[in-house]
Structure 1
Amino acid sequence: MTATVEVCNKLGLHIRPSRYLSALAKSYDAEVTVRNNERVALADSQLDLLMLLASKGAKLEISATGPQAEEAVDAIVKMVQDRFGEKD
């Protein structure tokens, strides 16, 4: 399962959003990866996610395999679309 989503929050995938995303990824029985251009991260690793250097406007490709792959991708896409709960 794969989906692409644009980072819309002002500061991009910084410390707080990467913490939320990694915690969400860990809650599913799936191996989830996030790609920003040539950089790829394991979604359950906050440090890996920060290394994506995903700023506002970045197009993230979310991919997952495993029993809950579809649910994991859908939940992560929704979180990114909701700006990780940030107002800006």
Structure 2
Amino acid sequence: MNAALTGKAELTNAIGLHARPSVKLTQLAKSFQSSITLAIDEAGPWVDAKSPVKVMRVKAPKGTVLHFSADGPDAQAALAAILGLVEDKFGEE
């Protein structure tokens, strides 16, 4: 069994992780086979990044560092894409 890959990225978009960014994140996460989770602290709690409701509940403001974990056949690609989305401010600015 492979260990999950992890990464982190700071929220730099003005509104943080709210409705639109949450939807973009979950849609991207669902495009991968791997299980993907996120947290605002390395210790957790971790939530399923493919669940719009759970991601929106995180309500992370600008400046929060999001921690991601991906585990599965395309984990490396999934993690790279999600970190890229966050670093790109969800394509909003």
Band the TM-score falls in, shorter-chain normalisation: over 0.9
Q: Which has the larger radius of gyration?
A: 2
* Partner residue in 1 for 2:49: 43
Uncovered stretches (5+) of structure 2, i.e. residues with no partner: none
Uncovered stretches (5+) of structure 1, i.e. residues with no partner: none
C-alpha deviation, 1:53, in angstroms: 1.8
Give aligned-pair identity as a percent: 39
Aligned-residue Cα RMSD (Å) equals: 0.9
For the residues of structure 2 that align with 1:75 and 1:49, how far apart are their CA atoms? 17
* Partner residue in 2 for 1:68: 74
Change (3 A) 1:52 1:39: farther
Does residue 47 of structure 2 align to residue 78 of structure 1?
no
Runs of 4+ in structure 1 deviating by more than 4 angstroms, as ranges, are none
* Partner residue in 1 for 2:16: 12
Count of paired positions: 87
